[in-house]
Structure 1
Amino acid sequence: MTAKKDSNKTKNGQEQVEKFLEELNHPLKPEIEYVRSIIREANAQLSEHIKWNAPSYFIHGDDRITFNLHGKDGFRLIFHCGSKVTPHAKGRPLFEDSTQLLEWLAGDRAAVRFRSLDEIELKKESLKQVINKWIVVTKDI
């Protein structure tokens, strides 16, 4: 009897993310899992998978939010328009962020850094707002 091959290619996106998180060795793993739950709760249209060696969230086949897990003192969520440079990259930010949660990296790319569970709790509702605004604004990009 041969062992069944366990390949990420045969797993759906949610299974890929669950396996990734199960094997993740990061000092803020509970916080990462909590932010994942906030993203999933924020918008039911988002699907998840592993992209760029981290959980990533997409809608209609277009990646929009990806974890950046580098560093031991925190992690970031990167809000983007996929891997290609858009005409908006060198322009002004795509929208006025009334939550002031986003750190704009380019006109079409922003980040939110998290360092603790308390910080995530404080930013939870603003994060949900930003997620939904990002989806609406980047829909046709």
Structure 2
Amino acid sequence: MPAKHTTVDGFRAALEPDDRARFEGMRALLLELEPRLTETIKWNAPSFDLDGRDRLTFNVMNRQRELQLLLHLGASRAETRGGAPIVDDPAGLVRWLSDIRGVLGVPDAAALAERRRDYADLITRWIAVP
């Protein structure tokens, strides 16, 4: 991946084919679930906000070198590391880093289709956090 992305298309083009397919599947789901999401480049990756509040950011620059979707509430809201997540995750999809920040591995198309309801439920509830 290049050091700096300025567009979503640039980010997408830099992905390996498998990651690109995963990105496109998850991105389509996000925009389907909440068409009012605004997509921009923040933190060198596509990031989504709702009504000016950060909600989700893609990440490939991690130790695992995997495509991830970060669930977060931006940098201005205080977080409690080790605190209970503010959104229930009964399907166990998220690795929670704090009460307001978690990491969701982006699945391939087959896994996303198989567990679509779980992903959609979690993401819908996350986006709705005040």
Question: What TM-score comes out, normalization by structure 2 length?
Answer: 0.80
Unpaired segments of 5 or more residues in structure 2?
1-5
Deviations 1:74-94 (A, max 9, x none): 311100010235155553210
Alignment of 1:60-139 (within 5 A): 60-70=51-61, 74-89=66-81, 91-137=83-129, 139=130
8 Å contact 1:88–1:94 — kept in the other structure?
no
Unpaired segments of 5 or more residues in structure 1?
1-7, 9-15
Count, aligned residues: 123
8 Å contact 1:73–1:115 — kept in the other structure?
no
**Taking every aligned residue pair, what percent have the same amino acid on both sides?**
28
Q: CA deviation at 1:115?
A: 4.8
8 Å contact 1:80–1:109 — kept in the other structure?
yes
Q: CA deviation at 1:25?
A: 3.1
Question: What TM-score comes out, normalization by structure 1 length?
Answer: 0.74
In structure 2, the residue matched to 1:47 is 38
Give the CA RMSD over aligned residues: 2.2
- Higher Rg of the two aligned structures: 1
Q: Secondary structure in 2 aligned to 1:32?
A: helix
In structure 1, the residue matched to 2:11 is 20
Q: Secondary structure in 1 aligned to 2:102?
A: strand
8 Å contact 2:21–2:108 — kept in the other structure?
no
Distance in 1 of aligned mates of 2:105 and 2:68 = 4
8 Å contact 2:96–2:103 — kept in the other structure?
yes
